Amino acid sequence: MTAQDKIAETVKAHDVVLYMKGTKEMPQCGFSSRVAGVLNFMGVEYQDVNVLADEEIRQGIKDYSDWPTIPQLYVKGEFVGGCDIITEMTLSGELDTLFEQNGVAYDKDAADKIREANA
C-alpha cells in the first residue's frame, strides 16, 4: 500500500483527521500544538497522525493535498487547511459551521470562549 493509499484510507475512515508533528497529547511543533489545542478544547473527536513517525506519510500528505506545510486538517475526507486557516476559521465561526454541516460534534461554548479570549 502506498502512502497515498494509506492517507486516502485514513481520511475516509474518520470524520476528522489531523496530520501533525507529534500527537494530540504531545504536539511537537507550535503550529500542530495550536490546531490540536483548538480541537481538544472544543471537544472534537479526531484521529491524529504523527508525520514525524513515517517519512513517507510526512511527504505523502503534502503531495496528497498539494499543500506544503503541516499540520493539515481533514473533515469528512476533505482538506480544510493548515494552522493559519484553522485559526481564522475558529475565530470567524466558520469552523463551527463546517462541523455543524458535517455532523461533527463539538462544544459550542468552548468555541465561543476561544472567540471571546481573542476578541
- Residue 119: its pLDDT value, please? 85
Q: What distance in Å separates the CA atoms of residue 72 and residue 83, rounded to the nearest whole number? A: 8
Q: What distance in Å separates the CA atoms of residue 27 and residue 34, rounded to the nearest whole number? A: 9
- Please identify every stretch of the chain with a pLDDT value under 50, giving residue numbers as ranges: none
- Residue 2: its pLDDT value, please? 93
CATH number, domain of 64, equals 3.40.30.10
- For the chain, the three-class secondary structure string (H helix, E strand, C coil) is CCHHHHHHHHHHHCCEEEEECECCCCECCHHHHHHHHHHHHCCCCCEEEEHHHCHHHHHHHHHHHCCCCCCEEEECCEEEECHHHHHHHHHHCHHHHHHHHCCCCCCHHHHHHHHHHCC
Tell me the pTM.
0.96
* Full residue range of the structural domain in which residue 113 is found: 3-117
- Count up the domains in the chain and report the number: 1
Q: What distance in Å separates the CA atoms of residue 116 and residue 87, rounded to the nearest whole number? A: 14
Residue at 16: amino acid letter:
V
**Which residue bears the cell 502506498?**
2
Phi-psi region of 77 (alpha: psi -120 to 50; beta: other; left: phi over 0): left
Asked whether residue 29 is marked as a ligand-binding residue, the answer is yes
